[in-house]
C-alpha cells in the first residue's frame, strides 16, 4: 500500500519500541507463558510488524486488507519470519464474513472456551470520515473511509457519530461478534474521552486490564500532537467505561508517570458558559469566541472587539454583567499549556466555591487583560479594555473609554441579575484585592503601556501610526509589524520593547501557575 493510501485509510506502521513494550505489557497482564496459552489474531496486520518478537507461530494469525501486504509477509516468512504462511491471509475485517476465515481460526472463534483465550492484538486504522479541514469548512469528507464499510450501517445505532471512526468499527465487531475474547489494541483514546462517543460507551462495556500511552507523532506519518494508547480489555466482564489509568511514556520510551482518562464526564464547561449568555446589550464591550471543551481547541479561545459571524465558533457578547465569569472561562482554558498528553482532556462545569473567591476572580480577569489571545483592537471600535488611567501611563491625550479602570475600582457593578454573586450590590474594588502575582502582571503591563505612549509621543518620523487608545494587541502590532501575508511578526527590532514584553509574559506565566490549582479545586478539570 502506498503512503498516500495509508494516510487516507489511517494505516500506519507501529514503531518497534512500542511493539516491544506492548508485548511486555501482555506478558505482565496475561502471564509469562501467554503466547503458549493464548491464540493471537492481528486482523489489521498491514505488513505484520506488530507481530515481530512473538514466538509461537502456531498460535498466530495475521490478516490484512491488501494482497500486496500479504505477499510481503509471505516473502518475510521465506526469509525467516516466525509465522506460518497458511495463517497469513487477505481479509477485509469490516466487510467480509467470518466464513472466509481459515478453518483453524474459525474453530477458535466458534468455540466459547477457546474464544476466551483469543487475543485480538491490533493497531487498527484510525482515519476519520471527516478531518479538521472539513470541520472548518476548508476541506471535503474522506469519501469511502467509513461509508464504504458494510458494518457502518449495521452499527450506526449502537455507535452514534463514533461510526465515522474506523478503529471504533473494529472494536464494535470484535466486541459484538467475537465476544469474550481479549482485546489488545493501539488507538486514540477518543472512545474513552471523546464527547462524540457517548453512544459508543453505552454499547462497549468491558474490563480494563492495563495499558500505556505515547505521543502520536512517534508513529510513522502521524503529525498530530495527541495520545495514542495501547489498552488491554477483557470482553467477558461488562463494566462501564468510567475511568482508566495508563502509564505514560515519552517519545524515547522513558516512563514519565501515570495519567487518568475519564469516560463518565457529564457536564461540560460550555454548558456552564451558556448560563452567562446575554442578549447583545448596548454596553457590549467585546466578544468571546469559543470552540470545543478540550485542550486541542485552546487556540480558538480568544476575545476581540468584533468577530466575523461566518465562523463556526460560538460567540458570547461581553458586558459588565458577565465579564467575571467569562474571564474565569478564558483563564481556565488558557492557564495550562496544551500538550500531547492533555490534548483531549475535557473542561467541565465547575462545582461551587469560585463565586466567592475574589482573589481567583481577580487573577482570572488580570490574566485575560494581558494575554496574547486578548485580540481587542481600537481599530475595530472603542477600546474598553485599557487597564490603566491616562495618568498612570503618562498618555498624551484622553482615552475614549475608561471602562476597565472604573470596573477595576468598583465603580461599575458586575451583578448579573442572578444569585451567582449574591450579595453583590456593588462591585469589588479589584486594585485592593490583587494577589502578589497579579500585581506583578499589572506592573509589567504598566511599564509596557508607558513605553508605548512615550514612543508615539516622540515619534516624528511618521513611519508608524500609533493610537492613544491602543490595546495590548495594537501595541504588539505597532512594535512587531506584520509580514507580507498580514500575520503579526514574532518579534521586534526594538530591544526595550522586547525586554518589557518578555517581563510581561514571564509574570503572566507565574500568574497562570497561581490559577492552575484552582482549576482542579473547582473541578473545571479532573486530575
Domain assignment of residue 200, yes or no? yes
Pairing mode, if any, of strands 314-318 and 286-290?
antiparallel
* Same domain for 218 and 248: yes
Phi, psi of 408 (to 5 degrees): -65, -30
Query: Helix 436-458 crosses helix 358-370 at what angle (to 10 degrees)?
Result: 30
Q: Which helix (H) or strand (E) covers residue 249, if one does?
A: strand 243-249
Please name the residues in contact with 308: beta carbons below 8 A apart, sequence gap of 6 or more.
none
List, for residues 155-210, the tens digit of each pLDDT value.
Answer: 999 999 999 999 999 999 999 999 999 999 999 999 999 888 999 999 999 999 99
DSSP 160: G
Q: Determine the pLDDT at residue 148.
A: 61
List, for residues 337-348, the tens digit of each pLDDT value.
Answer: 999 999 999 999
**31 dihedral zone (left: phi>0; alpha: psi -120 to 50; beta):** left
Query: CA-to-CA distance for 328 and 378, rounded, in angstroms?
Result: 24
Which of 68-82, 110-124, 309-323, 351-365 has the least mean pLDDT? 309-323
Q: Determine the pLDDT at residue 465.
A: 64
Whether 80 shows a pLDDT value over 80: the answer reads yes
* Same domain for 285 and 426: yes
User: What would the DSSP string read from start to end of 323-338?
Assistant: HHHHHHHHHHHHSS--
Instruction: Mark which of 204, 233, 262 sits at the end of a domain.
Output: 262
Q: Determine the pLDDT at residue 138.
A: 30
Domain assignment of residue 413, yes or no? yes
What are the contacts of 288-291 at 24+ separation with CB within 8 A? 288/315, 288/316, 288/318, 288/326, 288/329, 288/330, 289/313, 289/314, 289/315, 289/316, 290/314, 290/315, 290/316, 290/329, 290/333
Domain assignment of residue 433, yes or no? yes
* Same domain for 126 and 17: yes
* Same domain for 140 and 72: yes
Q: Contact, 406 vs 412, CB < 8 A?
A: yes
pTM of the model: 0.87
Domain assignment of residue 258, yes or no? yes
Query: CA-to-CA distance for 85 and 33, rounded, in angstroms?
Result: 24
Task: Please work out, in degrees rounded to the nearest 5, the angle formed at the alpha carbon of residue 515 by the alpha carbons of 389 and 298.
Answer: 90
Q: Determine the pLDDT at residue 386.
A: 97
* Same domain for 232 and 107: yes
Q: Determine the pLDDT at residue 264.
A: 85
Instruction: Mark which of 262, 297, 323 sits at the end of a domain.
Output: 262
Which of 135-139, 266-270, 274-278 has the least mean pLDDT? 135-139
Domain assignment of residue 443, yes or no? yes
* Same domain for 359 and 254: no
| Average pLDDT over every residue of 59-72 | 94
Q: Determine the pLDDT at residue 283.
A: 74
Question: How many Cβ atoms are within 10 Å of 463's Cβ, its own excluded?
Answer: 6
DSSP 91: -
Residue 474 belongs to domain spanning = 270-521
| Average pLDDT over every residue of 336-365 | 95
DSSP 2: -
Domain assignment of residue 526, yes or no? no
* Same domain for 58 and 36: yes
Question: How many domains is the chain built from?
Answer: 2
* Same domain for 288 and 256: no
Query: CA-to-CA distance for 334 and 324, rounded, in angstroms?
Result: 15
Whether 130 shows a pLDDT value over 70: the answer reads no
Cα separation values, 129 from 76, 137, 165, 267, 369, Å: 33, 14, 7, 26, 39
Query: CA-to-CA distance for 447 and 455, rounded, in angstroms?
Result: 12
Cα separation values, 151 from 23, 148, 177, 261, 338, Å: 29, 9, 12, 28, 35
CATH number of the domain where residue 133 is located = 3.40.50.150
User: What would the DSSP string read from start to end of 27-67?
Assistant: HHHH-TTHHHHSEEEETT-TTSGGGTT---GGGEEEEES-H
Domain assignment of residue 527, yes or no? no
Which of 104-108, 251-255, 422-426, 510-514 has the least mean pLDDT? 422-426
Query: CA-to-CA distance for 301 and 510, rounded, in angstroms?
Result: 20
Query: pLDDT band at 490, cuts 50/70/90?
Result: very high
- Chain-centre distance for alpha carbon 452: 36
* Same domain for 152 and 254: yes
Please name the residues in contact with 200: beta carbons below 8 A apart, sequence gap of 6 or more.
158, 159, 160, 162, 168, 172, 191
Whether 245 shows a pLDDT value over 60: the answer reads yes
Query: CA-to-CA distance for 108 and 94, rounded, in angstroms?
Result: 19
* Same domain for 99 and 73: yes
* Same domain for 144 and 34: yes
What percentage of residues in the chain have a pLDDT greater than 70? 87
At 513 the three-state DSSP class reads helix
- Chain-centre distance for alpha carbon 450: 38
Domain assignment of residue 32, yes or no? yes
* Same domain for 225 and 362: no
| Average pLDDT over every residue of 61-66 | 94
Instruction: Mark which of 262, 280, 307 sits at the end of a domain.
Output: 262
Q: With the C-alpha atoms ordered 99, 101, 103, 106, is the resulting torsion angle positive or negative?
A: negative
Amino acid at each position: 500500500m502506498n503512503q498516500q493510501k495509508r494516510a487516507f485509510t489511517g494505516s500506519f506502521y507501529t514503531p518497534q519500541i512500542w511493539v516491544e513494550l506492548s508485548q511486555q505489557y501482555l506478558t505482565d497482564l496475561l502471564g509469562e507463558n501467554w503466547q503458549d496459552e493464548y491464540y493471537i489474531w492481528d486482523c489489521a496486520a498491514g505488513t505484520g510488524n506488530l507481530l515481530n518478537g512473538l514466538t509461537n507461530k502456531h498460535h498466530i494469525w495475521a490478516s490484512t486488507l491488501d494482497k500486496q501486504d500479504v505477499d510481503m509477509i509471505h516473502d518475510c516468512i521465506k526469509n525467516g519470519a516466525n509465522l506460518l504462511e497458511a495463517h497469513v491471509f487477505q481479509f477485509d475485517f469490516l466487510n467480509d464474513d467470518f466464513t472466509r476465515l481459515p478453518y483453524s481460526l474459525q474453530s477458535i472463534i466458534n468455540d466459547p472456551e477457546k474464544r476466551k483465550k483469543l487475543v485480538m492484538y491490533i493497531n487498527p486504522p484510525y482515519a476519520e470520515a471527516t478531518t479538521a479541514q472539513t470541520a472548518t469548512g476548508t476541506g471535503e469528507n474522506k469519501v469511502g473511509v467509513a461509508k464504504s464499510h458494510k458494518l457502518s450501517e449495521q452499527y450506526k445505532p449502537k455507535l452514534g457519530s463514533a461510526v465515522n471512526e474506523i478503529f471504533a468499527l473494529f472494536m464494535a465487531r470484535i466486541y459484538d461478534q467475537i465476544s469474550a475474547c481479549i482485546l489488545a489494541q493501539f488507538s486514540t483514546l477518543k472512545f474513552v474521552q471523546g464527547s462524540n462517543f457517548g453512544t459508543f460507551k453505552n454499547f462497549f462495556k468491558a474490563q480494563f486490564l492495563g495499558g500505556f500511552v505515547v505521543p502520536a507523532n512517534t508513529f510513522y506519518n502521524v503529525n498530530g500532537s495527541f495520545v495514542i494508547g495501547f489498552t488491554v480489555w477483557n470482553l467477558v466482564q461488562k463494566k462501564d467505561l468510567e475511568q482508566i489509568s495508563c502509564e505514560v511514556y515519552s517519545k524515547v520510551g522513558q516512563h514519565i508517570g501515570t495519567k487518568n482518562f475519564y469516560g463518565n464526564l457529564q457536564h461540560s464547561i460550555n454548558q456552564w458558559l451558556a448560563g452567562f449568555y446575554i442578549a447583545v446589550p448596548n454596553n457590549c464591550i467585546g466578544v468571546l469566541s469559543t470552540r470545543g471543551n478540550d485542550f486541542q481547541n485552546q487556540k480558538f479561545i480568544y476575545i476581540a472587539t468584533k468577530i466575523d459571524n461566518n465562523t463556526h465558533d460560538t460567540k458570547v457578547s461581553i458586558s459588565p454583567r458577565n465579564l467575571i465569569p467569562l474571564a474565569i472561562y478564558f483563564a481556565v482554558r488558557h492557564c495550562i499549556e496544551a500538550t500531547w498528553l492533555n490534548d483531549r482532556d475535557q473542561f467541565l462545569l465547575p462545582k461551587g466555591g469560585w463565586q466567592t473567591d475574589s482573589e481567583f476572580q481577580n487573577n482570572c480577569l488580570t490574566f485575560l487583560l494581558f494575554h496574547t489571545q486578548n485580540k481587542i483592537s481600537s481599530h475595530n471600535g472603542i477600546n474598553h479594555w485599557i487597564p490603566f488611567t491616562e495618568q498612570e501611563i503618562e498618555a498624551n491625550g484622553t482615552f475614549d473609554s475608561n471602562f476597565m479602570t472604573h470596573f477595576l475600582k468598583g465603580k461599575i457593578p458586575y451583578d448579573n441579575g442572578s444569585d451567582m454573586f449574591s450579595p453583590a450590590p456593588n462591585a469589588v474594588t479589584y486594585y485592593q484585592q490583587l494577589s502578589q502575582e497579579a500585581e506583578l502582571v499589572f506592573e509589567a503591563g504598566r511599564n509596557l503601556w508607558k513605553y508605548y505612549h512615550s514612543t508615539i509621543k516622540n515619534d516624528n518620523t511618521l513611519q508608524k501610526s500609533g493610537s492613544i487608545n491602543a490595546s495590548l494587541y495594537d501595541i504588539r502590532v505597532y512594535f512587531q509589524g506584520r509580514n507580507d501575508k498580514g500575520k503579526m511578526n514574532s518579534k521586534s527590532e526594538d530591544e526595550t520593547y522586547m525586554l518589557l514584553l518578555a517581563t510581561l509574559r514571564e509574570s503572566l506565566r507565574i500568574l497562570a501557575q497561581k490559577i492552575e490549582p484552582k482549576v482542579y479545586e473547582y473541578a473545571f478539570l479532573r486530575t
